[in-house]
């Protein structure tokens, strides 16, 4: 089986590609230098030449706060780029996997969001990712839309690494009134692999860590598991204003596809120490 990956140099792409190769897929790695997803002719040419069975679309505009002032670029990449991939996949009869986000939900619920629940994004990033979802549904019948959340991994800028870099502050305040499901890129990659290998029905899935925590709880676990002593204090969202609104309740029902978030985090912390991070 041949898989073409977009955004292969991103945080997810760099963990996903070796996992696919290990599972005996032939992997075509592309990123903006080899396949700019915003250019339909380029997308169509490369997908028809490479003729993959599956396209896993990881490329995205991921700067949530910047998207508030630059919705045009966020929309061009997250909506138009995704629409281009969906059209080319449909034309070449290949399966498309689109990585989406918990930010498609308003986050005012009390029960874990199911894939079929109503969406209502609070910020421009969430809106453009949702527009991408709709394009996939419209143009590419053979699709998996996989929503994930609070992603971290060895190859990218993320919450875990930010926290560790701030550990020497006299006091570190972290938001305790937004809750969600931290997800390691390796867990997400394995979840995607599972959908493909088990030939699950096409549709929308939630692939995120099991269990729930706040950003404060997440930070506390990072420091405990790393053996770092830090003066960590919980704070409210109001005390830590950001350009983009974030959902307060960002909990998704993952149907047991990933293990407990803390178990995965423990493995990640061991790995980052092993590679000398
Ligand atoms: N990070 C999270 O917390 C999170 C949470 C939920 C969902 N997601 C979703 O998960 C997926 C993977 O996220 P990630 O954290 O791995 O993102 P990432 O590290 O920002 O990687 C995205 C990759 O896409 C590339 N890219 C940007 N514009 C492109 C274009 N026009 N054509 C081709 N490639 C382009 C980027 O290149 P440059 O770096 O050069 O721009 C980068 O290599 C995304 O779909 C994201 O929306 C992420």
Mean of per-residue pLDDT scores for the chain: 97
Cβ atoms 102, 52 nearer than 8 A? no
Q: Is 191 in the pocket of ligand 1 (CB under 6 A)?
A: no
Reported confidence tier of residue 238, pLDDT bands at 50, 70, 90:
very high
Q: Is 155 a catalytic residue?
A: no
Ligand 1 pocket, residue 77 CB under 6 Å: yes
pLDDT at 18: 98
Pocket lining: 40 vs ligand 1, CB cutoff 6 Å? no
- β-partners of residue 27 are 3
> What crossing angle do the helices spanning 185-197 and 261-274 adopt, rounded to 10°?
120
Using the predicted structure, report yes or no on whether residue 276 has a pLDDT greater than 90: no
Residues ≥6 apart with Cβ < 8 Å to 139: 83, 86, 87, 89, 90
In tens, the pLDDT along 65-101 reads 999 999 999 999 999 999 999 999 999 999 999 999 9
Indicate if ligand 1 lies below 6 Å from the C-beta of 42. Answer: no
- Ligand 1 pocket, residue 4 CB under 6 Å: no
**Over the stretch 131-167, which tens digit does the pLDDT of each residue have?**
999 999 999 999 999 999 999 999 999 999 999 999 9
Q: What is the pLDDT of residues 4-27, one digit of tens each?
A: 999 999 999 999 999 999 999 999
Nearest 5°: CA angle at 61, between 28 and 72?
130
In the set 125, 139, 144, 216, the catalytic residue is: 125
| 67 Cα–ligand 1 center, Å | 13
* pLDDT attached to residue 56: 98
Query: What is the dihedral sign for C-alpha 104, 215, 235, 172?
Result: negative
The average pLDDT across 244-251 equals 96
Structure confidence by residue, pLDDT tens digits, 35-52: 999 999 999 999 999 999
| pLDDT value of position 38 | 98
The pLDDT score that the predictor gives to residue 65 is 96
Could you report the per-residue pLDDT of 167-217, keeping only the tens digit for each? 999 999 999 999 999 999 999 999 999 999 999 999 999 999 999 999 999
User: What's residue 230's pLDDT?
Assistant: 96
How far, in Å, is the centroid of ligand 1 from the Cα of 4?
15
Give me ligand 1 centre to Cα 11, in Å.
7
In the chain, the domains with their CATH numbers are 2-158+182-210+252-258 (3.40.50.720)
With cut-offs at 50, 70 and 90, classify the pLDDT of residue 240: confident
Phi-psi region at 71: left, alpha or beta (left = phi > 0; alpha = psi -120 to 50): alpha
């Amino acid at each position: 089986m041949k898989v073409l990956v977009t955004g292969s140099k991103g945080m997810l792409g760099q963990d996903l590609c070796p996992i696919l190769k290990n599972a005996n897929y032939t992997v075509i790695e592309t990123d903006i230098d080899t396949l700019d997803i915003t250019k339909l002719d380029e997308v169509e040419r490369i997908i028809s030449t490479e003729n993959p069975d599956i396209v896993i679309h990881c490329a995205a505009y991921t700067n949530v706060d910047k998207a508030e002032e630059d919705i045009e670029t966020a929309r061009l990449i997250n909506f138009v780029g995704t629409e281009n991939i969906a059209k080319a996949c449909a034309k070449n009869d290949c399966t498309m996997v689109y990585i989406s986000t918990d930010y498609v939900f308003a986050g005012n619920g009390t029960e874990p969001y199911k894939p079929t629940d109503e969406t209502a994004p609070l910020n421009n990033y969430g809106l453009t990712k949702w527009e991408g979802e709709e394009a996939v549904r419209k143009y590419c019948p053979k699709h998996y839309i996989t929503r994930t959340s609070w992603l971290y991994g060895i190859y990218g800028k993320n919450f875990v690494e930010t926290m560790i870099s701030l550990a020497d502050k006299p006091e570190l305040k972290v938001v305790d009134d937004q809750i969600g499901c931290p997800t390691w890129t390796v867990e997400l990659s394995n979840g995607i692999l599972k959908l493909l290998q088990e030939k699950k029905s096409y549709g929308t899935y939630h692939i995120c860590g099991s269990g729930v925590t706040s950003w404060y709880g997440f930070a506390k676990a990072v420091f405990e598991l790393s053996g770092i002593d830090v003066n960590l204090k919980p704070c409210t969202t109001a005390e830590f204003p950001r350009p983009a609104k974030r959902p307060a309740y960002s909990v998704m029902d993952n149907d047991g596809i990933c293990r407990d978030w803390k178990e995965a985090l423990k493995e990640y912390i061991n790995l980052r120490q092993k590679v000398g991070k």
